Amino acid sequence: MDTRLAIGDFSRMTHLSVKTLRHYHQVGLLEPAEVDPATGYRYYVTGQVPAAQVIRRFRELGMPVEQVGAVLATDDPAVRNRLILAHLDRMQDQLEQTRSAVESLRALIEHPDLPVPVEHRTVPEVTALAITGTVHLDDLGRWWQSAFDELHGALRGLGAVADGPYGALLATELFADECGEIVAFVPVAQPPAALGRTRALRVPGAELAVSTHCGSHADADRTYGALGTYVAEHALGVEGPVREYYLTDRFDTPDATRWRTEIAWPVFRTGDR
């Protein structure tokens, strides 16, 4: 038979504070076995200790209260395991982001002056299959993945082939205002028919200062900074979107150390000076 416990004793036994236990009661995650109607005192029973310990461990893993409740509410092991594995996947993503940030910061401290070769290049106008969107900077990664997944699928659906590396035009507002236009595109030999969000687009020619970023996009700001410094110091900059050309990316290999991205900054044409 379970023994009744005052909330203070239950707190000591489970390492959950009284404040936390009251909150869990309010949200329906862990309700007391009894509440005194006259005093409002909460009482638990010894049989609730294992559930409290499970909740504490899920919360230590960063699982939201609502998801913990969903895990405890289901009697279906498959559903319960799916919920837990989904949270573990999110934790793995966060861990990889943290590891990438640590490695990037370490490299920045150990090698603050990143040598970046700069090439001047004139690119002609090209016909492309493109997706255009106004994107918030926080959503850029998800939008990028979705857009290029769709471009890959559209090429297959239209029976077309890429006539050069995939690329993107990124408006200044995307960085300055945290929200701006981005055009994801893939060059094609002939104007293709529209499919889904994709449209035929003429990507204008431009004079560019180009540097190659090696590795993950997470620290591409280092190449942006070095290239932008070069352009500013040589008074070459003109208005226009920055371009990225994806020579090798996640569609080619999951190994981010092998990714190669050309960062292309618009500059004035030599003849205009």
Q: Quote the CA–CA distance of 98 and 112 in Å, as a whole number.
A: 20
Tell me if 43 is assigned to some domain: yes
pLDDT digits over 59-85, tens only? 988 899 999 999 988 888 889 888 989
Tell me if 87 is assigned to some domain: no
Return the CATH number at 246.
3.20.80.10
What share of the chain in percent tops pLDDT 90? 51
Is pLDDT of 89 > 90? no
Tell me if 88 is assigned to some domain: no
Q: Are residues 123 and 55 in the same domain?
A: no
The reported pTM is 0.64
Is pLDDT of 30 > 70? yes
Tell me if 195 is assigned to some domain: yes
Q: Name the region of 240 (left: φ>0; alpha: ψ -120 to 50; beta: rest).
A: left
Tell me if 40 is assigned to some domain: yes
Q: Are residues 126 and 253 in the same domain?
A: yes
Candidate from 2-6, 31-35, 234-238, 261-265 with smallest mean pLDDT: 234-238
pLDDT digits over 116-159, tens only? 899 999 999 999 999 999 999 888 988 999 999 999 898 888 88
Tell me if 125 is assigned to some domain: yes
Residue ranges of alpha helices (H) inside the chain are: 7-14, 18-26, 49-60, 65-73, 77-110, 140-158, 172-176, 220-233
Is pLDDT of 112 > 70? no
Return the CATH number at 56.
1.10.1660.10
Q: Are residues 139 and 262 in the same domain?
A: yes
Q: Are residues 39 and 134 in the same domain?
A: no
Tell me if 86 is assigned to some domain: no
- The whole-number pLDDT of residue 273 equals 42
Count of domains observed in the chain = 2
Residue that finishes a domain, picked among 53, 73, 93: 73
Q: Are residues 139 and 215 in the same domain?
A: yes
Q: Which amino acid is residue 172, in one-letter code?
A: T
Residue that finishes a domain, picked among 73, 94, 128: 73
Domain coverage including residue 144 = 119-272
Q: Quote the CA–CA distance of 118 and 120 in Å, as a whole number.
A: 7
Q: Are residues 66 and 131 in the same domain?
A: no
